[in-house]
Chain A
Amino acid sequence: MEKQATINLEQQFQDRVDQDIRIEPKDWMPDKYRQTLIRQISQHAHSEIVGMLPEGNWITRAPSLRRKATLIAKVQDEAGHGLYLYSAAETLGISRAEMIDQLHTGKAKYSSIFNYPTLTWADIGTIGWLVDGAAIMNQVPLCRTSYGPYARAMVRICKEESFHQRQGFEILLTLSRGSEAQKAMCQDAINRWWWPSIMMFGPADDASPHTAQSMKWKIKRFTNDELRQKFVDICADQVKILGMELPDPELKWNAERGHYDFGKINWEEFWQVISGNGPCNKERIAARVKAHEEGAWVREAATAFATKRAQKQSAAVA
């Protein structure tokens, strides 16, 4: 009897999703839908927060005041994006503290791209162009994802994200028109970031076991490979404006497919970085833990201050 009721609820839920009716926090949802979303949204939030580190590293070294101001604004946006997403995940019943703890203990993942180092100023441009570009490609379809709070957070994020990509491309464009050394620096950064960027779309469809269910629930709207192809097609054209090259000898326009063909991705590297063996994994988490622990007294002081003020106010009323 009870099982029958659950099946009906699941059917009703799926009907709503099929009709593109959004699911809201208090609505009934299958437990696996809830867990999948918590995992995906919190990972996404963690990525925004950890993503501040490689870029924040260059704020003090930005080559001009204009570059510095825009980089600060961008990093501040990432903090905001993290917050929108943490809030969306919290509506599913997980606490902020629990999510932060999962990040710090390594239980939760974040985008593997942020485990790569930012070695030169050109990396900041390349992150804006390729990393934010790939993120936008992933995020735009998520504005129509089936879970309301997630979709609304994504709308806000996408609006802000386009400035990020443009500021990145502008940095590269400037370098690409500069001295020989600046051009070389630009090409070097593209060479290092290209492959990790196209790995950002996740494993190939045949190695991505959850894709089918996530598509059925409309948590995902396109497969990893579909989005990756779209991204490659766009970048292969954009790189020409820079007069640079993508580091893939097999990259070639395929008129028959109407897409660019591209070389094999080194999935071994992808899995290594995901499982903690990237160049900066430990450093990133250590920086997060340090910031959190060293901020503990501030959080406690603010709580104590709020309590004291509330007491004073109620005393004044009485």
Chain B
Amino acid sequence: MKIVIQIQRYGDYGDREPVKAEGATQNQADWPLWEVFIRSKMGLDHKHVGSLHAADAQMAIENARDVYTRRQEGISIWVVESKYIHASNPDEAASFYDPANDKVYRHPTFYDLPDELKAM
């Protein structure tokens, strides 16, 4: 006996006439860019997680919630418009951080103490 199995195909293929891609409009300017910082739980710092575009701060916070906390990654969100972030210059890193290079005595391991000394 032969079993005939008919597969119903009714997906998106051929649902509508293909439309030409030409004539795509030139985009207008983007919404401002915002940097997003998230506190993952009480007692921890807010940490930079990424950026997004939004028309204003409230929308930036709501979008950040939808994009960066879909799996309960945060309990507090900061957003700041990217143009207000000032950063050190990586090209000057060598000289900029130079003052700390020769001050190993700022670390506890610099000090030579006997092993018998406990609880220090």
Contacts and interface: CB of A to CB of B under 8 A. Distances in A.
A106 B11 contact: no
Q: Interface size for chain B: under 10, 10 to 19, 20 to 34, or 35 or more residues?
A: 35 or more
Interface string A49-67: 0000110011000000000
Interface string B66-105: 1100110000000000000001011100000000000000
Main SS class of interface, B: loop
Nearest to A83: B67
B3 interface: yes
B70 A87 contact: no
Contact of A283 (B5, B16, B27, B56): B16
A282 interface: yes
Contacts of A296: 25, 28
Nearest to B29: A97
A188 interface: yes
Given A90-B33, A100-B27, A76 B12 contact: no
Contacts of B53: 96
B89 A26 contact: yes
B5 A306 contact: no
A123 B13 CA distance: 12
Contacts of A98: 27
Interface residues of A, number: 58
Contact of B12 (A104, A106, A283, A299): A283
Interface in A91-107: 95-98, 100-101, 104-106
A177 interface: no
Interface in A268-318: 279-280, 282-283, 285-286, 289-290, 292-293, 296, 299-300, 302-303, 305-306, 309-310
B70 A76 contact: yes
Interface stretch (A179-187, A213-221, A244-252, A259-267): A179-187
B69 to A, nearest CB: 10
A24 interface: yes
Given A90-B51, A180-B3, A117 B90 contact: no
A186 to B, nearest CB: 10
B56 A104 contact: no
A78 B19 CA distance: 24
Given A90-B51, A305-B55, A306-B56, A26 B21 contact: no
Contacts of B18: 282-283, 286
A171 interface: no
A201 B59 CA distance: 37
A58 B11 CA distance: 8
Interface in B1-45: 3, 5-14, 16, 18-22, 24-31, 33
Contacts of B56: 302, 305-306, 309-310
Main secondary structure of the interface of A (DSSP, over half): helix
B91 A180 contact: no
Contacts of B10: 119-120
A286 B67 contact: no
B29 A289 contact: no
A282 B20 contact: yes
B25 A293 contact: yes
Contact of B31 (A24, A282, A302): A302
Contacts of A110: none
A156 B68 CA distance: 9
Contact of B5 (A28, A90, A184): A184
Contact of B30 (A97, A123, A180, A283): A97
21 contacts: A57-B12, A98-B27, A101-B26, A101-B27, A104-B24, A117-B11, A117-B14, A118-B12, A120-B7, A120-B10, A280-B12, A282-B18, A283-B16, A283-B18, A286-B20, A286-B21, A292-B24, A299-B28, A299-B31, A302-B55, A306-B55
Interface of A: 24, 26-28, 53-54, 57-58, 73, 76-77, 80, 83-84, 87, 90, 95-98, 100-101, 104-106, 117-120, 123, 152-153, 156, 160, 180-181, 184-185, 188, 279-280, 282-283, 285-286, 289-290, 292-293, 296, 299-300, 302-303, 305-306, 309-310
